[in-house]
Structure 1
Amino acid sequence: MSLKPVVSLHRFRHLCTFVLFCHTNLILGGYSKLFKTALSLLLVSTALFTLGSASAESGALVYEAETAQRTGSLTLKTDVKASGWKSVGTFEKADDSLSFTVDVPSDGVYDITVTCIGIGGSKINNLLVDGQHQGTFECGAVMYTDAPVKGVLLTAGQHELSITPSWGWMYVDKLTITPAQAISEDVYNVSSALINPNATENAKKLYAYLCDNYGKATLSGQVCDGGLKGTEITAIHAVTGRYPAILGLDMMDYPPSRRAMGASHPTAVERAIEFHEAGGIVAFCWHWTADKKYILDGTDANGNPRWWGAFYTDNVTFDIEAVMNGSDPYGKEALDKDIAEIAKQLLRLQDAGVPVLWRPLHEASGGWFWWGAKGAEPCKQLWIYLYDQLTSVYGCNNLIWVWNGQAKDWYPGDEYVDIIGEDIYADAHSYGAQNSKFIDVLDYTGTNKIIALTENGVLFDIDNLITTNARWAWFNTWSGDFVQKNGKYSEAYTEADILKKTYNSEYVITLDELPDLY
């Protein structure tokens, strides 16, 4: 049995303020009677407030940060802003961890809220349950805020909840566990109308299939530059006996900005047509290289020529805000040349009857790509401009537009988005469904949109997805070390048993299970 706080946090903080005020009015030579009285009340209130572990809110479990296990360089500090006048920080080292031992009363799905404050700005950090990555939370910088990780699956009994740094640099006040609201079945009822009224018949058919399938099953996907016979897909087939339903590819090496730097001859369009002819679905992203005028000299932190990663903010001086407001006409001209070449490649696919899950300007809100480096507004302007150019100017009507900005404030509007994608790279062997992020996405717009896991490192355990009802339309595992090593399947991120279980689940659609869509 736990105690209900006798003094509310709101009243407690007012009392703290009152005491501090009195302290500034000390009578020379001793404490005033007023201060002594207030101090006594404060001490009694503090004792009563910190006795219990359950909040006044029914069903909530509250754990103060000062009672948790600290590892690494974390320190405890006195903090009048925190609920118990103590907080833990600063999460600046990679091995810093704050671990709470919690007792969950019953099996279920819970919201876990971290009350925290960022240092020098808002900060995003990680929540783990029993060593498994469950999601990220974001705390503001002005005052302590409640940062939830929603929809976490917990069994009855004892668990270890750990907070670890992603961005780091924050103080934690407390952690609260409350029963979660179930994801409504209504969210899977989506319109089958594409945003482009001139969409090709094959694009309409593919989208209709995605809409009908949404909430019923999840499509398997794999990024693989080599296509159906590429290294990653071959490795997956050797373990599972299955091929993914979706092939992920990149338009990176086609534009003149990239070719001018010596990029190799791309074959992504050919691989896409082959996969389409094998009955599969094609998805494209675009790592958009800035014009060579804006690429910094020398090498990056890994010793690579900066042009290799000239889509990264740190490697270029390109200012998308200046381009979109008209103050950099050269930059605008360079973008237009790249768009024209991308349109040419997309039209090749259109002529071959290939509809495309088109995902440009991905992960914008992170700021690590130049298209997100200047904030939400210029990025939204670029998205809309790109949509207008490809559809109205060049007639690329085979595109299903997948927006992957990863934050509500970056959403360009329902009229420019068919599908919302999220990229999530959980810790190795962390098989949660990442349903906290799925729930967050539901708040991006009041209109139901298909939600997909457009990039992932580790693959989820399909049972977790079913139990939490976070039914991602598809997953799309990234290439390289996430899947293979030296041409063989690698368990570095996803163990073979989980891979086999997922690919052979009745809830997961593989290439051989796709209908004749066209």
Structure 2
Amino acid sequence: MVIPILGEAGVRKKVVSLLFLLSLVAPNFLFQPPVTASTSTVPVNSQATIEAKVVLQKLNAVSGVSTISGQHDYLESPDEWTNQVKGWTGKFPGLHGYEFGAILAQNDGQLAQQRQKVVNSAIAWNQAGGLVTISYHQSIPGTCLCWSNVEKKMSQAEFDKYVTPGTPQYAKLIADLDKTAVYLGKLKDAGVPVLWRPYHEMNGDWFWWGKKNNFAALWNIMYDRYVHVHKLDNLLWVWSPNAPNAHADPYTATYPGASKVDVLAVDIYDNDYNEDYYKNIVQLAGGKPVAIGENGELPSAAVLKDQPRWAYFMTWGKMLSENNKKEEIKSFYSHSKILSRESFLPVKQPQIQPISPPDKKNGLRAEYYDNKDLTDLKETKVDAKIDFNWSTSAPVSSVQADTFSVRWTGKLLPAYTEKYQISTLSDDGIRVWVNDKLVIDSWYNQSWVERTGSIALTAGVPVDLKVEYYDNQNGAAAKLMWKSPSQTKEIIPASVLLLP
């Protein structure tokens, strides 16, 4: 159960690095013969990003072997307690818990600023190798962003209005969800997978969404909005009930169902690590990862031994120091079964030097046209790379200096398995396809404008590349660049370009 904190301020991880972790915690995981993926290792969103898929695989791999440490921070101070863990133990937790819900009467500008700080921190945390989870203490839609509008009982009849399309309350709910989606979208664009944990402790009656006979309707509205409308494919969906003690219903009363939940995480306070709570959540999960969504007291070594399937835990904010002694915290983080961020920091990914097949030559096939619409072909040649500033000169003697166009085709051979940012600098129009995906579409007059797009690539696997360009008048330039977490930004060199 969360407690309000009034008066307090509250490159992307490489896929290969994550797989490296899997080899450490579960060495057989990476060397089994291919098998059909089970529902426990496949995200419920069929369009989930590569990064999200790997995080879910990671949680499955550590389950029963180790437990990933986690620490929550408040919206107003998104790094405070995580840094405190580092200061006391010499280690960062493996999982950083963030917050997107505001409870201190923030106005729209303050909320936007604080959420952006969370986004910035989460991107940096992900690039450093850690896992990201975000909670959402949503105020009653359309009301003050105040704790009193989060921790507030609501009648079933009033709740029904918020989950009924066409009502004013429903419209306010959608508006709130859409505002929050903007910042989750920024994390998606940055390649950050998020263990998304909304509407937690729904089996208790202290939040406005709690103990409702149709809680699943609220969950489904958010799920459908974020997956099908906002395309937030970087989210893994964490359903996080309270431990079913005297104050909370059994898990099954509010479970949305296996088709819309990736991880089941129980909130446990007062050292109440009851064996039945553990067994029942494992049974309900049916093979999906289970975790401790929130805790005050750190689980003991005996708990970790008797309840080995907890994939991670997350200590809630300042309860780290209020509920645990400093020496206990240091001892806990030194436990052999506890994974800190340092446990799976990536060793610098070895670059796979692109080696052109013996029957392939480097460069791109370049077709030069004496008009802007790629129809009057005059010359075909090989260009080593796309790095041109023709200014007011003709690119080749067979076309005029203005109103010409070029089409480059070939293969692109990446050195790393990760998401690449493709960028262009052009005067005038340009568009780029990588692996048959249109990643940049800027087909209009412009002067030295940079455009970007992104795509996941696999080390050593060549993909089709096509670039089309046109010049109108008064200067001509075309440059093609790339960067990734392991690749500094550069003009894409001839060594990784192959003729078709």
TM-score bin (small chain): 0.5 to 0.7
**Selected match of 1:370 from 195, 202, 208:** 208
Identical-residue share of aligned pairs (%) = 27
Alignment-mate amino acid for residue 194 of structure 1 = P
* 2-structure distance, mates of 1:277, 1:228: 20
**Selected match of 2:183 from 345, 350, 355:** 345
Map 1:218-367; keep pairs closer than 5 Å.
Answer: 218-225=67-74, 230-253=79-102, 259=107, 263=111, 265-266=113-114, 267-292=117-142, 307-314=146-153, 319-326=158-165, 329-367=167-205
Q: Secondary structure at the match of 2:292?
A: strand
* 1-structure distance, mates of 2:39, 2:168: 41
- Aligned-pair CA distance for 1:389: 0.6
Contact 2:133 2:196 in 1 (8 A): yes
Specify whether residues 245 and 226 from structure 1 end up closer, same or farther in structure 2 by C-alpha distance, changes over 3 A only: farther
Contact 1:362 1:403 in 2 (8 A): yes
Contact 1:433 1:465 in 2 (8 A): no
Q: CA RMSD in A?
A: 3.0
Map 1:101-116; keep pairs closer than 5 Å.
Answer: none
Q: Secondary structure at the match of 1:454?
A: strand
* 2-structure distance, mates of 1:247, 1:286: 14
Specify whether residues 190 and 325 from structure 1 end up closer, same or farther in structure 2 by C-alpha distance, changes over 3 A only: closer
Specify whether residues 471 and 501 from structure 1 end up closer, same or farther in structure 2 by C-alpha distance, changes over 3 A only: farther
Contact 2:95 2:132 in 1 (8 A): yes
Q: Does 1:498 align with 2:348?
A: no
Q: Secondary structure at the match of 2:203?
A: helix
Contact 1:433 1:461 in 2 (8 A): no
* 2-structure distance, mates of 1:504, 1:450: 24
Q: Secondary structure at the match of 2:86?
A: helix
Specify whether residues 190 and 437 from structure 1 end up closer, same or farther in structure 2 by C-alpha distance, changes over 3 A only: farther
**Selected match of 1:204 from 53, 56, 68:** 53
Q: Does 1:444 align with 2:261?
A: no
Alignment-mate amino acid for residue 439 of structure 1 = K
Contact 2:141 2:176 in 1 (8 A): no
- Aligned-pair CA distance for 1:405: 3.2
- Aligned-pair CA distance for 1:291: 3.3
Larger helix share, 1 or 2 = 1
Aligned to 2:16: none
- Aligned-pair CA distance for 1:494: 1.3
- Aligned-pair CA distance for 1:501: 2.1
Alignment-mate amino acid for residue 301 of structure 2 = I
Alignment-mate amino acid for residue 266 of structure 2 = E
Contact 2:128 2:345 in 1 (8 A): no
* 1-structure distance, mates of 2:302, 2:106: 42
* 2-structure distance, mates of 1:469, 1:308: 34
Contact 1:284 1:358 in 2 (8 A): yes
Q: Does 1:388 align with 2:388?
A: no
Contact 1:251 1:286 in 2 (8 A): yes
Specify whether residues 320 and 261 from structure 1 end up closer, same or farther in structure 2 by C-alpha distance, changes over 3 A only: farther
1:388-437 CA deviation, whole Å, 9 max, x = no partner? 110011100000100113421211111011010111111xxx4x754331
Contact 1:253 1:259 in 2 (8 A): no
Q: Secondary structure at the match of 1:194?
A: coil
* 2-structure distance, mates of 1:324, 1:236: 40
1:221-267 CA deviation, whole Å, 9 max, x = no partner? 0012489983322322232111101100011149xx96359757312
Q: TM-score, normalized by length of structure 1?
A: 0.54
1:185-218 CA deviation, whole Å, 9 max, x = no partner? xxxx972111001001111111111111111100
Alignment-mate amino acid for residue 280 of structure 2 = D
Contact 1:253 1:264 in 2 (8 A): no
Q: Secondary structure at the match of 1:289?
A: coil
**Selected match of 1:417 from 246, 252, 261:** 261
Q: TM-score, normalized by length of structure 2?
A: 0.55
Specify whether residues 339 and 315 from structure 1 end up closer, same or farther in structure 2 by C-alpha distance, changes over 3 A only: same
**Selected match of 1:408 from 239, 252, 256:** 252
1:425-480 CA deviation, whole Å, 9 max, x = no partner? 11xxx4x75433111213435x22211001000111123311x1343110100012
Contact 1:279 1:511 in 2 (8 A): yes
Contact 1:233 1:243 in 2 (8 A): yes
Give the paired residue count.
Answer: 301
* 1-structure distance, mates of 2:78, 2:150: 28
For structure 1, the residue ranges without an aligned partner over 5 or more in a row are 1-188, 296-305, 484-489
